[in-house]
Amino acid sequence: MWLFDMDHGSNVAPRLLKERSGHSDTPHIIKFYGDDGKHILSCSENTPLRNNSLINEHISRNFSYKKAISKKKLAHTNEDIGKTLDFAFNELRERDWANIVTISDSNDNVPSIWSMENGSLAKTTCKYETDMSGVKT
């Protein structure tokens, strides 16, 4: 929504008052978040993770990864994170720690951990061992 201000008859450039946003590509994963059904988490080719509120558009947002990446001194871009293949979450104690995990088709195959509370990539990372020689079956 644009606002056109009039200053005593002279035209002033319009300014953006409200904006609705979303995925520019078609989402390929969509899941309801929580028991109340008020939020939808979704992923698309260009957006690793997005929170879509069904109640208030002002709450909807893309999850940010740039702040956490810059603190780690890594040079990641959206292409480095890759296309999200799947994600899982648990809303229990979401205000205390990051509660969403995503896996992508990036080269490192390391899951990303996201915080619903902060709407961003968590500072912690997942580590796993590919050597299974010490595991007893």
Tens digit of each residue's pLDDT (9 = 90 or more) over 119-137: 888 877 776 666 656 655 5
Could you give the C-alpha distances from 115 to 1, 60, 68, 93, 97, in angstroms and in order? Answer: 30, 14, 11, 11, 7
Q: Work out the mean pLDDT of the chain and round it to a whole number.
A: 78
- Assign 74 a pLDDT band (cuts: 50, 70, 90): very low
Between 128 and 87, the higher pLDDT residue: 87
pLDDT computed for residue 17 by the predictor: 72
More confident residue, 57 or 10: 57
Is the pLDDT reported for residue 44 higher than 50? yes
